[in-house]
Structure 1
C-alpha cells in the first residue's frame, strides 16, 4: 500500500526523509520504504507520525480527506 500522504505531510512541513527517520529512530532507507509503500508502516510509527503532524491516522492511511484529528 502506498502512503503518498506521508510524503505530502513531510514536504508540507519542510522536513527531509532524514529528519523524519531520525524522529522515528530509523534508518532513512527504512522510512523511504514506508513512504513509497515498499514496506508496511508499523502501528507505533503511524501513531507517532500522526502526533507529529497533528493529524489522524485515518488521514495518513487515506481513509479520510479531513486532516484534522477527531476531537474527544
Structure 2
C-alpha cells in the first residue's frame, strides 16, 4: 500500500473525535494492536471493517479512502 492514506485518515478521524485507539478498537471488536497496524500501514482493513469505521465516524467510505478528505495530501494530515 503506497502512502498509507487509509491509515492516516483513520488516525485523523479518530483524533478529530478525541478517541483513543483502545476506544475505537473496542467499538470495532478488535485488538488495539490491529488498529495500530492499520494506522501505521502494516495491515489494511477489509471492506467490512472500513464500513464499520465509516458508520462510527459518520463519514463516507470515500472520505476514509482519501477521496476529498482532509488527508488527501500528505501536508494536510498530521503524522
Alignment root-mean-square deviation, CA: 1.3
> Are 1:60 and 2:53 counterparts?
no
Separation (CA, whole Å) in 2 of partners of 1:43 and 1:25:
15
Separation (CA, whole Å) in 2 of partners of 1:15 and 1:65:
19
> Are 1:46 and 2:68 counterparts?
no
- TM-score when scaled to structure 1? 0.84
- After the TM superposition, which segments of 4 or more aligned residues of structure 1 sit over 2 Å from their partners? 63-66
User: How many matched pairs?
Assistant: 66
Deviation at 1:35, TM superposition (A): 1.1
Matches within 5 A, 1:1-72: 1=1, 2=4, 3-65=7-69
Which 5+ residue runs of structure 2 have no aligned equivalent? 71-79
